[in-house]
Amino acid sequence: MIKNIILVTAMFSFSCQQSNNKNNIVEVEGCMDIEAINFSPNVTISDQSCIFVGCTDPESINYNVKATIDDGNCLSANQVPAGYLLHWNDEFNGDTLNSKYWNIETWWAGAYNNELQSYTKSQNNIILNNGYLYLRAQKETPFNPNQPGYTSGRITTKDKVEMQYGYWEIKAKLPSGIGTWPAIWMLNSKIDSIPWPNSGEIDIMEHVGYDENRVFFSIHNEDLFGNVHGTNQQGVYYYEEIEDDFHIYSVEWNENEIKGFVDGVQYFNISKLSNFNYSQWPYDSPFFLIINLAIGGDWGGVQGVENSIFPSSFIIDYARMFIKESEN
C-alpha cells in the first residue's frame, strides 16, 4: 500500500512539471519566409513583416509581385535579346556589392600569371557609385617604385549564379594605360573537381593597356590553353579608342558553338566538331562569371607598368544572363 502511494505521487509530480514546461514556451513573432531579407529561423508566428527585395515595376519583365523594396534591376522587354528570357541580371544600382550574387576574391601578388596586384575586399578597390561598379587598381601606400605594389578588385558568381549555355552580356568601360589588364571571363562550375585548364575557360573580353585599340575573345581547354594567339580559339576585335566609352561585351553559347561579340558585332565563332572529346570541348556544364582588373603579369606587363596612370578603374554598368526560350 505504501509503495503504491509513493508511485502515484511521483507520477503526479512529473506530470505537473511537464505541464509547467509547456506553459513556459515563448512564441516569437517575425518573418518566416526564407526568401525575405529579414527571415529569422527562430520565428514561430508570422507577423506579416517580411521584406522582399526585387523589381517593383509591374511593367518590367522581371517584376516581382512580392517585392517591397526595389533592387534597381528592373528590365524592359526591349532589353532582352530576341528568342531569349532573362535568367539573371545585376545593374549595380545598390550601395554595396550584392553578396547574394557575388563573391569578392582575395589573392596575393603573383598568385596568377605573375600579376603584380593583390586582390582585396577594400572599398578602395571595389566601389559602387551612381549605378556603376568600379574595380579600381591603385598603388600601395607607401609606394616603393623600386619594389612596386598594387591593389585591385576581382569578383565572381561562383556557387551563386551559374548557367549552362545562353547569351551573357556585360556593359563596361575599359581602363587605359600601360600595365592594365581587365578581363570578363567564365570558368566551369566543376573546376574544384576538374582543375583548369581541363574544365575549360571562356574569355568574353580581355584587353591589355599597351594594345589600346584591341580586345580579345578566347577559349581554353586541355588540348590548347594559355597562349592561344593566332589559333581558332581566339578572336581579335579592333576599334579605335575603344577605351574611351562603354561597350557591350557578350557571348552566345550552346551545345554546338560559341560566339563572341562587341556591341552586337560578332568577331569570334567556334563550332563543336563531331570528333571533339572533353579535352577539346569541356563547355557543356554550367559556368560562372568573373570580372577583374589585373596589373602587369605575363600579358598585361609585356611593356611594363606606367605608374602615372593610378588610380585606374574598370567600370561596369551591368551584367546580364539570358536563357533560350526553348531551354527554359
Other Cβ atoms less than 10 A from the Cβ of 147: the count is 7
CA distances from 30 to 51, 52, 100, 223, 307 (A): 11, 14, 22, 55, 54
Q: Is the pLDDT of residue 236 over 50?
A: yes
Task: Give the catalytic positions in this structure.
Answer: 201, 206
User: Position of cell 573580353?
Assistant: 205
The per-residue pLDDT for 20 is: 52
Q: What angle is formed at CA 175 by the lines to CA 173 and CA 179, rounded to 5 degrees?
A: 150
Please report, as a single letter, which amino acid is at residue 107: W
Please report, as a single letter, which amino acid is at residue 223: D
What is the distance between the alpha carbons of residues 108 and 255, in angstroms, rounded to a whole number?
36
**pTM of the predicted model, to two decimals?**
0.89
Looking at the domain 75-327, which fold is it? Jelly Rolls (2.60.120)
Q: Is the pLDDT of residue 45 over 50?
A: yes
The per-residue pLDDT for 223 is: 97
**279-317 per-residue burial string, b: 16 or more CB within 10 A, e: under 16:** ebbbbeeebbbbbbbbbbbebbbeeebeeebbebbbbbb
Q: What angle is formed at CA 169 by the lines to CA 163 and CA 173, rounded to 5 degrees?
A: 135
User: Position of cell 574544384?
Assistant: 192
List for the chain the helix, strand, coil content (%; round to 5): 10, 40, 50
What is the distance between the alpha carbons of residues 166 and 293, in angstroms, rounded to a whole number?
25
Other Cβ atoms less than 10 A from the Cβ of 165: the count is 19
What is the distance between the alpha carbons of residues 12 and 51, in angstroms, rounded to a whole number?
47
The per-residue pLDDT for 328 is: 65
In whole numbers, what is the pLDDT of the chain averaged over residues? 92
Phi, psi dihedral angles at 157 (to 5 degrees): -105, 20
Confidence of residue 44 (pLDDT cuts 50, 70, 90): confident
The per-residue pLDDT for 25 is: 73
What is the distance between the alpha carbons of residues 63 and 75, in angstroms, rounded to a whole number?
9
Of 251, 97, 105, 237, which Cα lies nearest the Cα of 170? 251
The per-residue pLDDT for 48 is: 87
187: enclosing H helix or E strand = strand 180-188
Q: What 3 state SS string does 62-119 have? A: CECCCCCEECCCCCCHHHCCCCEEEEEEECCCCCCCCCCCCEECCECCCCCCCECEEE
Report the Cα–Cα distance between both ends of the chain, in Å, rounded: 77
Residues 6+ apart with CB under 8 A from 159: 103, 189, 288
Q: What is the mean pLDDT of residues 247-258?
A: 98
Q: What is the mean pLDDT of residues 44-53?
A: 90
pLDDT, tens digit (0-9, with 9 covering 90-100), for 3-34? 444 334 444 444 445 545 555 678 889 999 98
pLDDT, tens digit (0-9, with 9 covering 90-100), for 50-102? 999 999 999 999 999 999 999 999 999 999 999 999 999 999 999 999 999 99
Q: Which three cell numbers stand for residue 137?
A: 587598381
pLDDT, tens digit (0-9, with 9 covering 90-100), for 268-300? 999 999 999 999 999 999 999 999 999 999 999
Q: What is the mean pLDDT of residues 189-210?
A: 98
Please report, as a single letter, which amino acid is at residue 115: E
The per-residue pLDDT for 57 is: 96
User: Position of cell 518590367?
Assistant: 60
